[in-house]
Every structure is written in structure tokens, then in C-alpha cells.
Amino acid sequence: MAEEAAGAAAAAIRASLTEAFTPVIAITLGSGCGDVADAIKPVKVINYSDIPGFPVSTVQGHAGQLILGHLAGVPIVGLKGRVHYYEGNPRSMVVPVYTVKLLGAKYLMITNASGSLREEMGPGALVALTDHMNFSGANPLIGPNSDGMGPRFPSLYNAYDPELRSILLDIAKDKDVKVHEGVYVGTSGPSFETPAEIKAYRVLGGDVVGMSTVGEVILARHCDLRVCAISVVVNYAAGMTDQHITHEETLHFTKLAAERVATLVMGWVQRVSNL
């Protein structure tokens, strides 16, 4: 069971520490978070491969490390690297999310890279997510329910916490960082979307599209972690330009956005820790 696996992972992490450490906030240090990771004052860094039950990402740019430390003076746990549905096991993301909850985290900040469905949001734009549409064909809660973590049928109403997003937008205004708001369309990957699919997603109200995040948000809400999410636009979606989409674009534009993402995340962490 996922709950037992997460419990074993949390116990192993605690056993590796020389003194007690309880994170308030968990952060997925994914796309655009290189500068955030560098700003963490680490207490302990553990490779996923050394944590019982943790999956190891096979994707370039996803390191696979759990970082316990302080960011802007706040105790946090960072997940540096994530697994995706297209890597073969829809439930592989369950243990990391449940583990940060068991370690004590109350809030989860998620970052990702996405393709834009809107002409006004080009590569390099930042988008605070307001909701998602799940077109992945998968759900990490399929299978036996982890009753100790959450209900069989969790609500996803306001899954992207309005209060946490409002804090993020206030910080963006204070720091003069432009941030859009939008709905995330989640797909399974690994192939990029077709132009026909992109047209459909736009009609349905999607603003950005990507291959992560949805499963993590579902799991976070299942175990009562409050969620905020930032998306870094790395390309226009298929059919909006004549160019082919590449993973190298993702790496390039997330690096360009890293400083702005760090400014927002560090300010957000300080504010949220006082809620």
C-alpha cells in the first residue's frame, strides 16, 4: 500500500537526520527552479535511489534528490526532479507526495514547464494555475484507497488554493514580475500534442498544456496539502507556429525564467509560513 511505503520512506528520512527537522512547505523543484534549489540552505540531501519506495526519474533535467533545508529562513522539503505518467507507472508519484505530508508539510508549491495555448503568453511567460483539465487518461488514486491519507472520493474544488495564489500574485505585483493566470491541460505524453488537440483544448478553456502536475495535485488534495502552482511557458503549442517543439526548448526557457521564479517562490514561502 502507498501509505505504508510513504511511512517507510518518511521513517528512513528521519533516521538519516542528526536532529529533528519538520518542513512547513514542500516544493517540487522542477522546471524553472534551478535558482530556488541553489538558494536552499541544506540540512540533508538524499538521492531518491536511497529512499525506500521512491521512484527515480528518467528525464533529462530531473535530478532525483530530496532536499531538507531552509529557504528564506523557512524549513522546507524540496523534491528535485519528478516522475511522469509516460515513464510507465501512474502510481509512481504517490510515495513522494504522501511522504512530504508525513514529514509535516502543510503546503505544496508545484512548478512545471508548459506550452502556451494563448498568443499573449509566449515563451518565458509565467502562469499561476487556477485549475486543470485531466486528459492524461490516468489518475494516481486508481486502486486501493490509502484511508489514512484521505477519502476514497476527494474533492478537487479549488484544488489550486485561491488564497495561496493571491499571495503569489501580490508578491509578483510587489516585485514587478508579470504573472498570468490560467487553466492547465494535463496530458500523458511523451509525444507532444497535435494541432487538432490544441484547437480542442483552447475551445474547452485551456491556457497552457503539459505532461505533469495533475497527478501531483490530485494526490496533494487527497492528503490535504494546500497547493499553489507556477507554470513556465517554454513554447507555443503545436499548430500555433510552424516550428517543431523540442525538449531542448524546455531546458532553455526554464533557465531564462529561473531568476523570476526564485523571486516569487522565496517571497511566497516567507508569507505562507506565517499563515
Q: Which of 140, 143, 162 is nearest to 223 (CA)?
A: 140
Question: 212 catalytic, yes or no?
Answer: yes
Question: Residue 248 and residue 2: Cα distance in Å, rounded?
Answer: 34
Q: What is the DSSP letter of 61?
A: T
Say whether 235 counts as a known binding-site residue: yes
Catalytic residue check, 1: no
Give the active site residue among 57, 212, 258, 266.
212
Which is catalytic among the residues 211, 229, 257, 258? 211
Q: Is 165 annotated as a binding residue?
A: no
Known catalytic residue: 125? no
28: cell is 517540487
Residue 247 among the catalytic residues: yes
Q: Determine whether the annotation assigns residue 83 to a binding site.
A: yes
Is 31 an annotated catalytic residue?
yes
Residue 112 is among the residues annotated as catalytic for this protein: no
Q: Spot the catalytic one: 5, 105, 109, 113.
A: 113
**Is 166 part of any known ligand binding site?**
no
113 is catalytic: yes
Q: Cβ contacts of residue 226 below 8 Å, gap of 6+?
A: 106, 107, 108, 161, 164, 220
Per the rule left: phi > 0, alpha: psi between -120 and 50, beta: everything else, 133 is beta
Q: Which of 88, 54, 81, 75 is nearest to 190 (CA)?
A: 88
235 in active site: yes
Q: Find cell 516585485 and name the residue.
A: 175
Q: Catalytic pick from 84, 132, 180, 222? A: 84
Rounded CA separation 78/120 (Å): 32
118 annotated among ligand-binding-site residues: no
Name the active-site residue from 63, 247, 259, 273. 247
Name the catalytic one among 136, 172, 235, 258: 235
Phi-psi group of 189: left, alpha or beta (phi > 0 → left; psi -120 to 50 → alpha; rest → beta): left
Cα 219 to Cα 154: distance, rounded to the nearest angstrom = 9
Active-site pick, 57, 62, 107, 116: 62
Determine if residue 59 is labeled as part of a ligand binding site: no
Secondary structure element (H or E) that encloses residue 215, with its range? helix 214-222
User: Is 193 within any annotated ligand binding site?
Assistant: yes
Catalytic residue among 5, 6, 9, 31: 31
Catalytic residue (one of 86, 145, 158, 259): 86
Residues catalogued as catalytic: 31, 62, 84, 86-87, 113, 211-212, 235, 247
Residues at the binding site are 31, 62, 82-84, 113, 193, 212, 235
Residues at the binding site for a purine D-ribonucleoside are 193, 235
Residues at the binding site for phosphate are 31, 62, 82-84, 113, 212
